[in-house]
A and B are shown apart, each in its own frame.
Chain A
Amino acid sequence: MHKGYAIELANVVKRFGEVAAVDHVTLQIHDGEFFSLLGPSGCGKTTTLRMIAGFEYPSGGELMIHGRPMATVPPHHRPVNTVFQSYALFPHMTVAQNVAFGLKMKRVPKAELGARVQAALDMVRLAGFAERYPRQMSGGQQQRVALARALVNQPEVLLLDEPLGALDQKLRKEMQLELKSLQHRVGITFIFVTHDQEEALTMSDRIAVMNQGKVLQVGTPTEIYERPTCKFVADFIGETNFIEGKVVEQGDEYATIQTPDGLQLRGYTPLPVNVGEAATLSLRPEKARLILPIHARPDDAFTMPVHVEMITYIGSDTRITVRLNEGRTLDVWEQNTLSTLDRNAYWQPGEAAVLVCPPANALVLTE
C-alpha cells in the first residue's frame, strides 16, 4: 500500500475574486480513514472537496494525493471519485449504465465490466434495479446508485459532499450507519462533507471543523466534543453555556477565571492561557448539575448560586434554565429518571439552587 497520507493539503488557499473561500488549510488525511469536513454553510467545505476532486485549482499551497502533487492533474486523471450533493446521475442512462460509466471510460473489458457493475449494485443492495432510469427511483435509491457509481472504480479516496442532505430524517440515520459499515468493508478513505455535527460525530474517525475558510480544529469526535480548543468549535458542536471572565490563576492543565461580579470558576485548558487574559468558560448543559444550597460544600471547586427559572420536559432529558445572580441565564440538562419525573419533589420555578460542575468538565478558552 501507499506510504504516508492519502490526502495532504499544505497551506491551500482558494480565492474567488477578493474572497478567500479556503484560507490556508493544512490537513493530513490517513489511508482508510473516515474523515469529515464539518462547518456551517459557506465555510468552504465544498470548495475544499472540489479542489481534491480537481474541479477547482488552488490559488496557493499544495495538494497531494498519496504523495503525488496534483497541481497539474485534471479531474479525469485523479484517483478519486465523488458522490455529488445532487447525486448528478446521468438521467439518460439506466442505473447499470450509470454505474458502468467510469469503467467504460477506463476501457475495462466487457466481461469484467458486467461483473463489477453487478457487484457494485449488490453492494448497495440495488441488484434488481439495473435497468431502471434514475428518475424512476426514490431519493435514497438514487443516493445508493451514486455511491455504487463512484465505488465501482475502486478509487483511492471517495469524496462525499453532503450526500445525505436531501434525505428525510429516518432514512438519513439509516444511511449514516450503512455508509459507515460500507466504508469499513471497502477500506477506502472517505472524505465526508457535512454541516450536521451529529452526523459528523456519529460517522467519523476524525473531523476537521471549518469556519470562514479556515480549519479551526482537527480531532476525533470525542476530542472535538470534549476538548474543543476555541469558542466556535465549542458552540458549533453540541450545546454549551459561555461565561465570560478573566484568567486569575493558571496551573498545569487547569485555570481559574473570575467573572465581572466576582465569581471564580475553574476549568480545563485545552490550550495554554496566561493570567490576566480575557477568557471564556464553556460549560456543556449535560455536564452541570443542580443541587440544593444546603448540599453545597465550601470545598466544591466550582459552584454558582442560581435561581431555577424554567423547566422543560423533552422526553429523554429535562432542560432547566437557571438565572445567575448577575442576571444571565444558563442551561442545565438532567437525564430523566424516576425521581425527576415526580414533579412535586422536583425543582420548582423560583427555587434557589447551586450549579456545580467538576473542573474537568468545564473548559477555559481564550479564542
Chain B
Amino acid sequence: MALSSFEREQQRHEQRRLMALLAPGMFWLLVFFLVPLLVILVYSFLTNGPRGNLLWQPTLQNYVDLFTQASYVNAYVRSLWISGLTTLFALLLGYPLALFIVKQPPRVRLVLLILVLIPFWTNFLVRIYAWQIILANNGLINATLAALGLPTLFLLNTEGATLLGLVYGEVPFMVLPIYAALDRFDFTLMEAGADLGASKWRAFWHIMLPMTMPGVAAGAVLVFIPTIGQFVVSELLGGAKVDYIGNLIQRLFLRSNPPNWPLGSAMSTVMMIVLLGFILLYFRSTTEEDR
C-alpha cells in the first residue's frame, strides 16, 4: 500500500526515536558481548608459543587438531549427548511439574512457583557441594543405606552423578517457559478432545503438547545451551573422569602447562557455531508456528 508523505515522515520519526532508545543497549552489547567474541575468534587463528604466549602467526592448525584428534571430537560428542539427556530428563520432570502447578488455585500456584525459584537464592556451586555431601561414599544416602543394613552404592564421581546434578540445576529453566505456555493454554480444549473421543493421553499428545510446544522449545534451548559449555558439575560430581567441551576449554585456558589459548578459543568458536545452529533451528520453529 502506498504511504502518504505524512505517513512516511511519521515512520522516519518513529525509526529515529527507536534508534535513540536502542542506542545505549546496542552500545553495551557491542562492547561487552561482541568485542570479547571477536577476540576469541581472532585468537583461534593464532599460534600458541612454547610458553603459552601468543604468536601472531595466522594458522588453521587449531581447527585441524580439533576435528582430527579423537579426544577433542569425543568431548564434543559427549557434551552433545549429556546435554541432550539433561534436556530430555528436565523435560520429563519439568512438564508434569509445570502442569501440576498450573492446575492449582492461584495462591498455591504462587507458592509453588516461588519454591521452584528458591534454589536460585543460593549459589550454584554451594548447591553442587551439597549434592557431593548427599552422594559421597559416606554421604547421606550411603549412611542411610548402611544404617538400614543395606549395601552401599558408589554414587559420587560417576557420569550418573553429573547427569543428576545437571538435571537438578536445569529443571527450573524448563519449568518456567512450559508453565508460561500452559498458563495461556485453554483447558477447555482438553474437554473438547475428550468430548470427541480422545483419552487423556491422546488429548495430551494431539492437543496440549503441540499447543505448548513453544514453551517446550524455549525450555529446551534454555537447558541445552548452558549445559553444552558446563564444566563445574562434571568436575565436582563427575570427578572430572570424563572430559566435556567445557572441561577442555577451561583446562586449555587455565590449567594446562603451558596454557593454550588459541586452541581453547577454537574450541569455543566451534561450540558457539553449533549452538547458533540450534538457536536458528529454534527460531525457525517458533516463527513457523506464528505463520
Tell me the A residues contacting B by CB distance below 8 Å: 53-55, 74-77, 80-82, 84, 86, 88-92, 101-102, 105-106, 149-150, 153
Q: Are A76 and B198 in contact (CB under 8 A)?
A: yes
CA distance A82 to B193 in the complex (A): 10
Q: Are A76 and B195 in contact (CB under 8 A)?
A: yes
Contact of B196 with A by CB under 8 A: yes
| Nearest B residue to A152, CB-CB | B196
B206 cross-chain contacts in A, Cβ below 8 A: 101
Q: Which of B34-42, B88-96, B183-191, B279-287 contacts A (4 or more CB under 8 A)?
A: B183-191
Contact of B275 with A by CB under 8 A: no
| Nearest A residue to B187, CB-CB | A88
Interface residue tally of chain B, by bracket? 10 to 19
B interface: dominant SS: helix
Contact of B192 with A by CB under 8 A: yes
B15 cross-chain contacts in A, Cβ below 8 A: none
Q: Are B188 and A105 in contact (CB under 8 A)?
A: no
Distance (whole angstroms) from the CB of A321 to the closest CB of chain B = 45
Q: Are B197 and A54 in contact (CB under 8 A)?
A: no
Q: Known contacts A88-B186, A105-B202; is A53 also within 8 Å of B211 by CB?
A: no
Which one of A91, A102, A105 has the highest number of Cβ atoms from chain B below 10 Å of its Cβ?
A105
Q: Are B195 and A81 in contact (CB under 8 A)?
A: yes
A102 cross-chain contacts in B, Cβ below 8 A: 196-197
Which residues in window 84-120 of B have CB below 8 A to A? none
Which one of B195, B202, B211 has the highest number of Cβ atoms from chain A below 10 Å of its Cβ?
B195
Contact of B207 with A by CB under 8 A: yes
A-B contact pairs, 25 of them (CB 8 A): A53-B191, A54-B194, A55-B195, A75-B191, A75-B195, A76-B195, A76-B196, A76-B198, A76-B199, A80-B195, A82-B191, A88-B188, A88-B189, A88-B192, A90-B189, A90-B192, A90-B207, A92-B211, A101-B198, A102-B196, A105-B196, A105-B202, A149-B196, A150-B195, A153-B196
| Other-chain contact of A81, B188, B189, B196, B202 (Cβ < 8 Å) | B196
Contact of B160 with A by CB under 8 A: no
B50 cross-chain contacts in A, Cβ below 8 A: none
B186 cross-chain contacts in A, Cβ below 8 A: 86, 88
Contact of B226 with A by CB under 8 A: no
Q: Are A84 and B210 in contact (CB under 8 A)?
A: no
Q: Known contacts A84-B188, A88-B189, A92-B210; is A105 also within 8 Å of B198 by CB?
A: yes
Excluding A53-B191, A74-B194, A82-B195, 20 further A-B contacts by CB distance (< 8 Å) are A55-B191, A55-B194, A75-B191, A75-B194, A76-B195, A82-B191, A86-B186, A88-B188, A88-B189, A89-B192, A90-B189, A90-B192, A91-B211, A101-B193, A101-B196, A101-B206, A102-B196, A102-B197, A106-B197, A150-B196
CA distance A88 to B207 in the complex (A): 11
| Nearest A residue to B202, CB-CB | A105
CA distance A40 to B220 in the complex (A): 48
List the 6 shortest-distance A-B pairs measured between CB atoms, nearest first. Answer: A102-B196, A105-B197, A88-B192, A75-B194, A88-B188, A82-B195
CA distance A90 to B203 in the complex (A): 11
CA distance A80 to B192 in the complex (A): 12
Distance (whole angstroms) from the CB of A134 to the closest CB of chain B = 11
Q: Per-residue 0/1 for B53-84: is the Cβ within 8 Å of any A Cβ (1 yes, 0 no)? A: 00000000000000000000000000000000
B210 cross-chain contacts in A, Cβ below 8 A: 92
A75 cross-chain contacts in B, Cβ below 8 A: 191, 194-195
A55 cross-chain contacts in B, Cβ below 8 A: 191, 194-195
CA distance A105 to B201 in the complex (A): 12
Q: Per-residue 0/1 for B249-289: is the Cβ within 8 Å of any A Cβ (1 yes, 0 no)? A: 00000000000000000000000000000000000000001
B193 cross-chain contacts in A, Cβ below 8 A: 90, 101
| Other-chain contact of B195, A53, A91, A92, A106 (Cβ < 8 Å) | A53
Q: Are A86 and B199 in contact (CB under 8 A)?
A: no
B289 cross-chain contacts in A, Cβ below 8 A: 92
Distance (whole angstroms) from the CB of B211 to the closest CB of chain A = 6
Q: Are A76 and B191 in contact (CB under 8 A)?
A: no
| Nearest A residue to B188, CB-CB | A88
CA distance A102 to B181 in the complex (A): 25
| Nearest B residue to A82, CB-CB | B195
B192 cross-chain contacts in A, Cβ below 8 A: 82, 84, 88-90
